[in-house]
Structure 1
Amino acid sequence: MSTESIFQTHLVLGYAAWLICFGAYILPGLTSMDRVRAHRAIATLHSFRFFGLVFLLPGVVGPNLPASFATFAAYGDLAAGLLAMLALIMIRIPQIFWLFVIAFNLVGMGDLILDYYHAIQAGLPARAGDLGAAYAIPIIYVPLLMITHVFAFYLLLGPQPKATQALTGETAAS
């Protein structure tokens, strides 16, 4: 089996495993929470994205990891992680909290999509060994990040719970 096939198989199975786990264990917990607590939980997970800087660390990644991928991935993750931390810090100021929730999700999801694009452009799937010890990041961590971004956008854009509508004076469309 080629390096590219192994990487792609790992990536698909990473998404499959996280979707099963998310549906069975994480989603029920998040849907039982109010929106603020659910977004706080998601932001807490994403606050660890500073770890993406490892793509720039010689000895952890191979010397031939394409800079076109590594640099963008590292700093995109850092930006998303810092925005998630700011959301967590601003929890007591709702308008600013929601601004940072939206920002970290837009930046974070955009980063992941562009990372996929840069990886394909750089031929990374065929050179996955260049990821070195960071190989686990796109296989294990990135699928969970993407899934939680999708769910965060669902929470942000989906219908508001009736209790929230009552508090904000909005009427539900029947």
Structure 2
Amino acid sequence: MSTQLIFQSHLILGYVAWLLCFSVYVWPRLKSMDRFEAQRVIATVHSFRFFGLAFILPGVVGSNLPASFATFAAYGDFATGVLALLALLAVRIRPLFWLFVVAFNVVGIADLLIDYYHAVRVDLPAHAEELGALYAIPIIYVPVLMITHCVAFYLLVRPQLKATRSLQKPEMSAG
């Protein structure tokens, strides 16, 4: 089996596994939370994206990993991670929190889409060995990042369900 086919299979299976896991364990919990708490959970997941800087760390990835892919992936992840951390630090200032939530999701999903574009342009699947120790990032971590960005946007535009109290008077018992 070719390196390209293995990488593409891993990527597809990463999405399948995360979608199954997410639909059973994560999505029911997130949709039962209020919008603020759900976005805090998603921001926490993305706050670790500072780790993407490892794409430009000598010795971690192969020396032939295309810089056009590695550099953008590294700094896009870093920017997203910092914005997610800022959202978490701003939880007590709600308008600022929401600004950072939107910012890290816009920057983050743009980063992932542009990374996919760069990966296709440089034929990354055929040279997946150049990812070295970071091979697991596009296979295991990126699918959950993309899924959580999509969920974050859905939760941002979904009407917030509010608890309503019954306005009816309790029935009087005949006693």
Q: Specify the alignment match of 2:82 in structure 1.
A: 82
Q: Specify the alignment match of 2:7 in structure 1.
A: 7
Larger CA deviation: 78-87 vs 30-39: 30-39
Q: Specify the alignment match of 2:92 in structure 1.
A: 92
How high is the TM-score relative to the length of structure 1?
0.92
Give the residue type in structure 1 aligned to 2:131: L
CA offset digits 1:101-147 (Å, max 9, x no partner): 00000000000000000011111110000000100000000000000
Two-structure CA RMSD over aligned residues (Å): 1.0
Give the residue type in structure 1 aligned to 2:142: V
SS at match of 1:92: coil
Q: Matched residues, percent identical?
A: 70
Residues of 1 paired with 2:122 and 2:51: CA distance? Answer: 22
CA offset digits 1:52-74 (Å, max 9, x no partner): 01101111100000000000000
Q: CA deviation at 1:29?
A: 1.3
Q: CA deviation at 1:32?
A: 1.7
Q: CA deviation at 1:163?
A: 4.2
Query: Considering only CA atoms, is the larger Rg found in Structure 1 or Structure 2?
Result: 2
SS at match of 1:162: coil
Q: Which runs of 5+ in 1 are unaligned?
A: 165-174
Q: Specify the alignment match of 1:113 in structure 2.
A: 113
User: Structure 1 residue runs of 4+, over 2 Å off?
Assistant: none
Number of residue-to-residue matches in the alignment: 164
Q: CA deviation at 1:49?
A: 0.1
Q: Which runs of 5+ in 2 are unaligned?
A: 165-175
Q: CA deviation at 1:162?
A: 2.6
SS at match of 1:96: helix
